[in-house]
Amino acid sequence: MKVSLTKRQIKANETKEKIYKTALELLEANGYENIRIEDICQKADVSIGSFYNYFNSKNDILELIFKQADDYFKNEVRVTLSQFESIEAIREFFVIYSKFNVKTGITTLKQIYNPENQFFAKKRGMQEVLVEVIERAQGENKITREFSPDEIVSMLFILARGIVYDWCLNNGEYDVVRKMSSYTERVLSTLVIK
């Protein structure tokens, strides 16, 4: 049964989304360290109190970026990958992952990819989706069982994050989707049972 939102709840959701989108615009334009909550509120045309109704700090914006990425992978990418053969689904996962990073934007990624960001250390929804694909591939005897699905996902994400980090270091000057596909293929070739 679908629950209807009140006008007040709808307005609250709209305000939160407005603050979030404004923060992302400022983050992309100026960098995380160079924006203040006051800047976000002024550009979003909301009070500072409104900001604190929805977020505890500027860091909550980064947390929401990660949550939305995980939701996207759990709800949409999972369905897409189910339509592919297991090995092809792994390849497609990293194409989608790299395109998602391109869409996020280089300036935002430069803020996210730093050693202080502990969101990378947590097990996240997007990795859970890839674990399912690896489990399927192992169940079909297409990928080695020498490593657990979690270990394989860890290896692949170290590679993927390294590529995105390098892409940031090079200011997005190369085709990250192509590089991601090429490097993922090299690693996959060592894991696929021939």
**What is the structure's pLDDT at 120?**
72
**What is the structure's pLDDT at 192?**
94
12: domain CATH number is: 1.10.10.60
Q: What is the percentage of the chain residues whose pLDDT exceeds 70?
A: 98
Q: Which residue has the higher pLDDT, 191 or 62?
A: 191
100: domain CATH number is: 1.10.357
Q: pLDDT tens, 41-76?
A: 999 999 999 999 999 988 888 888 888 889 999 999
Looking at residue 47, the DSSP 8-state letter turns out to be -
What number is the average pLDDT over the span 105-113?
83
Q: Are residues 132 and 180 in the same domain?
A: yes
Q: Are residues 39 and 66 in the same domain?
A: no
Q: How many domains does the chain have?
A: 2
Q: pLDDT tens, 110-163?
A: 878 877 777 777 778 999 999 999 999 999 999 999 999 999 999 999 999 999
Q: What is the percentage of the chain residues whose pLDDT exceeds 90?
A: 64
DSSP letters spanning 4-26: PPPHHHHHHHHHHHHHHHHHHHH
Q: Are residues 148 and 177 in the same domain?
A: yes
Cα–chain center distance at 112: 10
**What is the structure's pLDDT at 33?**
80
Residue 2 pLDDT class (50, 70, 90 cuts): low
Q: Are residues 118 and 175 in the same domain?
A: yes
DSSP E strands, 2-160: none
CB 37 within 8 A of CB 58: yes
Task: Among 75-79, 94-98, 113-117, 170-174, name the one with the lowest average pLDDT.
Answer: 113-117
- Find the domain containing 88 and state its range: 61-191
Kind and range of the H or E run holding 72: helix 59-72
Q: Are residues 2 and 71 in the same domain?
A: no
Q: Are residues 65 and 49 in the same domain?
A: no
Q: Are residues 106 and 182 in the same domain?
A: yes
Q: Which residue has the higher pLDDT, 35 or 93?
A: 93
pTM given for the model: 0.83
Q: Among residues 27, 55, 83, which one ends one of the domains? A: 55
Q: Are residues 24 and 100 in the same domain?
A: no
Q: Among residues 34, 55, 76, which one ends one of the domains? A: 55
Q: Are residues 138 and 157 in the same domain?
A: yes
Q: Are residues 13 and 98 in the same domain?
A: no
Is residue 79 pLDDT above 80, yes or no?
Answer: yes
139-146: long-range contacts at Cβ-Cβ below 8 A with a sequence spacing of 24 or more? 140/86, 141/193, 142/86, 142/87, 142/192, 142/193, 143/86, 143/87, 143/191, 143/192, 143/193, 144/191, 144/192, 144/193
Q: Are residues 69 and 29 in the same domain?
A: no
**What is the structure's pLDDT at 75?**
95
Distance of alpha carbon 125 from alpha carbon 178, whole angstroms: 24
Q: Are residues 31 and 76 in the same domain?
A: no
Is residue 1 pLDDT above 60, yes or no?
Answer: no
Is residue 26 pLDDT above 80, yes or no?
Answer: yes
